[in-house]
Amino acid sequence: MSSKRQLDGAKRIVVKVGTSTLIHPNGRINLQAIDQLSFSLSGLVNEGKQVVLVSSGAIGVGMGQMGLDARPEKIPEQQALASMGQCELMTIYQQRFTTYGQKISQVLLTHDVLDYPESRQNVFNTLDTLLEWGIIPIINENDTIAVDELDHHTKFGDNDQLSAVVADIVDADLLIMLSDIDGFFNKNPRHFKDARLIDEINKIDSKVIEQAGGKGTKFGTGGMTTKLKAAKRILKHDRMMILANGENPSIIFRIMNGDKIGTLFRKK
Known binding-site residue numbers for ATP = 16, 179-180, 221-227
CA distances from 182 to 67, 90, 203, 204 (A): 29, 27, 19, 18
Query: Which of 85, 21, 56 has its CA nearest to residue 158?
Result: 56
- Residue 83 neighbours by CB under 8 Å, 6+ apart: 62, 143, 144
DSSP H helical segments within 47-116, as ranges?
58-66, 75-99, 111-115
The answer to whether 51 and 15 are in contact (CB under 8 A) is yes
Furthest-apart CA pair in the chain: how many Å?
53
Known binding-site residue numbers for substrate = 56, 143, 159
Q: What pLDDT sits at residue 217?
A: 42
Whole-number Å distance between alpha carbons of 149 and 206: 29
Known binding-site residue numbers = 16, 56, 143, 159, 179-180, 221-227
Per-residue pLDDT reduced to its tens digit, 120-166: 899 999 999 999 999 999 998 876 665 554 333 445 557 888 999 99
Q: What pLDDT sits at residue 78?
A: 86
Most confidently modeled of 17-21, 52-56, 71-75?
A: 52-56
CATH class of 12-265: alpha beta
Domain boundaries, the chain: 12-265
Per-residue pLDDT reduced to its tens digit, 161-210: 899 999 999 999 999 999 988 999 887 777 778 888 999 999 888 778 77
